[in-house]
Amino acid sequence: MTLTAFKVRLYPNQKQIKQIKQTFGSTRFVWNQMLAMQSARHKNNSNAKYQNEFAMNNLLKALKAEYPWLKNVDATALQASNGNLHDAFKRFSTRN
C-alpha cells in the first residue's frame, strides 16, 4: 500500500474571508461565555452539577437570543466549540 499526499492551498474571496473570521470569532466568544458560566457556577456553589456538552448546546439558544449576530454562523461550529470545551473539562478533571 502506497500513501500519497497532496498539498493544497485555498484562496478564499473577500466574502469567504469575512465568513471565516466571523466563524472563528463567534466560536471563541461561545467558548469564553460557556467557560465563564461554568466557572461562575462552581464559584457560587462548589456542589453544583457540571453542565455537560448537551446542556451547553441547549444554552446556545438563549445565547443566540441575547447576541443575535451568533445566528450568522453555522450552528455546528458553535456546537463543536462546546464539544471541545467539554473535552477539555473531562481531560482536566481526570488529571486532578
Q: Which tens digits make up the pLDDT trace of 19-70?
A: 999 999 999 999 999 999 998 988 898 888 888 999 999 999 999 999 999 9
In a domain, 8, yes or no: no
In a domain, 12, yes or no: no
Residue in this structure with the C-alpha cell 473531562, named with its chain if needed: 90
In a domain, 79, yes or no: yes
Q: What is the pTM of this model?
A: 0.84
Total domain count, the chain: 1
In a domain, 5, yes or no: no
In a domain, 1, yes or no: no
In a domain, 11, yes or no: no
User: Domain limits at 66?
Assistant: 25-42+53-95
In a domain, 88, yes or no: yes
In a domain, 9, yes or no: no
In the chain the first and final C-alpha atoms are separated, in Å, by 43
